[in-house]
């Protein structure tokens, strides 16, 4: 899996909380290779607390004396920067670079480099990078927290990798015949409660149909809507001063 060849590299991070939060962000997005280049002392207890259940990544961090050493075995090195300049004009968003990173990760190590919280990556650091990532943000405040920046980039890689499978609707979309029975029930209900006159029913029902057509209706959705219509019509007809009894059970044809 190409995500296994993605390495997150933190250059001289300042705060243990950020290191731990980076571990958690990586675990959320299926990444596990974390390196720290030119490490400075940070609060290990705070890092562990913020890592939450991603302590395995925290415990396997590899440290390197320099950024060059941390990315020496990486074919593609992507550095993150919010700054602009002559030699940063080829910067692209994480989404735009995700495909390139994953393609390279099929055969080689790929590094995503994040600079220190106070100054970010300087030109010397970026000289080691083959691509520059800029995370879209408002011009009024371009700087992101270190762990947030890692999460955004990791998320784009995770989604682009196809590792995420969206949940599928269990109930299939309702067939036309079932929808038409539902519309017939709603038409009768709306006439009975006085929402519309019979000579305007066709016109008004076009509006109702348009509302329901704005998104897919599953069989379960239609059954609920038919049940609402049935219960409401029954209550309008039978309820006096006492609490309403349950409406008649759904008809067998409702389940087609």
pLDDT digits (tens, 9 = 90+) for 9-57: 999 999 999 999 999 999 999 999 999 999 999 999 999 999 999 999 9
Confidence (pLDDT) at 239: 73
- Say if residue 254's pLDDT is above 60: no
What is the gyration radius of the CA atoms in the chain, in angstroms?
A: 29
pLDDT digits (tens, 9 = 90+) for 76-132: 999 999 876 655 667 899 999 999 999 999 999 999 999 999 989 999 999 999 999
Confidence of residue 245 (pLDDT cuts 50, 70, 90): low
Element (H, E) at 27: helix 16-28
Confidence (pLDDT) at 142: 85
- Say if residue 255's pLDDT is above 60: no
The CB density around residue 28, as the number of other CB atoms within 10 Å, is 13
Residues 221-234 have a mean pLDDT of 94
Residues whose CB is less than 8 angstroms from the CB of residue 21 and which lie 6 or more positions away in sequence, other chains included: 50, 51, 146, 147
- Say if residue 243's pLDDT is above 70: no
Residues whose CB is less than 8 angstroms from the CB of residue 216 and which lie 6 or more positions away in sequence, other chains included: 169, 173
Distance CA 153, CA 8 (A): 10
Confidence (pLDDT) at 2: 83
Confidence (pLDDT) at 87: 59
pLDDT digits (tens, 9 = 90+) for 133-157: 999 999 888 889 999 999 999 999 9
Confidence (pLDDT) at 82: 82
Domain boundaries defined on the chain:
2-160, 176-255
pTM: 0.76
Residues 239-245 have a mean pLDDT of 55
Which CATH fold topology does 2-160 show? Alpha/beta knot (3.40.1280)
The CB density around residue 157, as the number of other CB atoms within 10 Å, is 26
* Three-state secondary-structure class, residue 199: helix
Q: Which of 155, 122, 127 is nearest to 26 (CA)?
A: 155
CA within 13 Å, CB half, 48: 4
pLDDT digits (tens, 9 = 90+) for 178-224: 999 999 999 999 999 999 999 999 999 999 999 999 999 999 999 99
Confidence (pLDDT) at 56: 96
Confidence (pLDDT) at 241: 47
Element (H, E) at 59: helix 55-59
Instruction: With beta carbons less than 8 A apart as the criterion, state whether 54 and 23 touch.
Output: yes
């Amino acid at each position: 899996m190409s995500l296994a060849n993605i390495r997150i590299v933190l250059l001289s991070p300042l705060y243990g909380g950020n290191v731990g939060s980076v571990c958690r962000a990586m675990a959320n997005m299926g990444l596990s290779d974390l390196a720290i280049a030119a490490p400075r002392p940070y609060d290990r207890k705070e890092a562990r607390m913020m890592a939450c259940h991603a302590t395995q990544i925290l415990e396997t961090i590899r440290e390197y004396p320099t950024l060059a050493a941390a990315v020496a075995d990486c074919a593609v090195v992507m550095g993150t920067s919010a700054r602009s300049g002559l030699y940063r004009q080829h910067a692209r968003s994480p989404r735009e670079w995700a495909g390139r990173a994953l393609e390279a990760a099929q055969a080689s190590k790929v590094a995503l480099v994040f600079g220190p919280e106070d100054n970010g990556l300087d030109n010397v650091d970026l000289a080691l990078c083959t691509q520059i990532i800029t995370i879209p943000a408002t011009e009024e405040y371009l700087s992101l927290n270190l762990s947030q920046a890692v999460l955004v980039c990791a998320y784009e890689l995770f989604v682009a990798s196809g590792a995420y499978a969206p949940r599928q609707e269990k109930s299939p979309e309702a067939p036309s015949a079932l929808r038409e029975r539902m519309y017939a029930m709603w038409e009768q209900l709306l006439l009975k409660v006085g929402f519309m006159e019979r000579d305007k029913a066709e016109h008004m029902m076009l509006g109702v149909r348009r509302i329901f057509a704005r998104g897919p209706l599953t069989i379960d959705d239609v059954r609920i809507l038919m049940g609402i219509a049935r219960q409401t019509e029954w209550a309008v007809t039978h309820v006096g001063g006492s609490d309403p009894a349950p409406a008649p059970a759904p008809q067998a044809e409702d389940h087609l």
